[in-house]
Amino acid sequence: MLWRKFNGEPLVLPIKDAVEQTIKREAAAGNKLKVCIGTDSQVKGKETEFATVIVFLREGRGGFMFIHNEKSLQKYSIKERMLVEVAKSIEIAYELCHLFTLYDVDMEVHADINTNPQFKSNEALREAMGYILGMGFAFKAKPEAFASSSCANKAVN
């Protein structure tokens, strides 16, 4: 899995190591971190592109993110696509959660799913919420889910 910074610079370390180094560096600089993980997708012709982000928020001092992009030729219904986004976020959250516990960093999983029933993505809300909470992670949906709806949205090429 290739990860990069927002400026396009690739991460050379495996994501676990890069995240651990980041947590240690920020703690040494006196920053209290919170991490939000989210995924967004866009359908372009026959391709669906997914962007997963790990957003590091420095309490009172802005933030930064790591980004992973991948493409799929599979055709998804809106509900399937929303749940694939959630699965991608959970996969990385699960891979990293021991680090967040070890270093006492709060973490949330953000779903790009609207809480308003008038939106099509709302069809996936119950399942997504159950999936995320069932894994033991804090959950946010739109409009609070900025990691997926804003950050990952900007990272989908």
Residue range 18-58, pLDDT digits in tens = 999 999 999 999 999 999 999 999 999 999 999 999 999 99
Q: What is the pLDDT of residue 1?
A: 78
β-strand partners of 58: 33
Strands 47-58 and 138-142: unpaired
Alpha helices in the chain (DSSP H): 15-28, 78-102, 125-134, 146, 153-155
Residue 66, CB half-sphere, CA atoms under 13 Å: how many? 24
What pTM was computed for the model? 0.94
Spans in the chain with pLDDT lower than 50? none
Give domain limits for the chain: 4-155
pLDDT of residue 121: 87
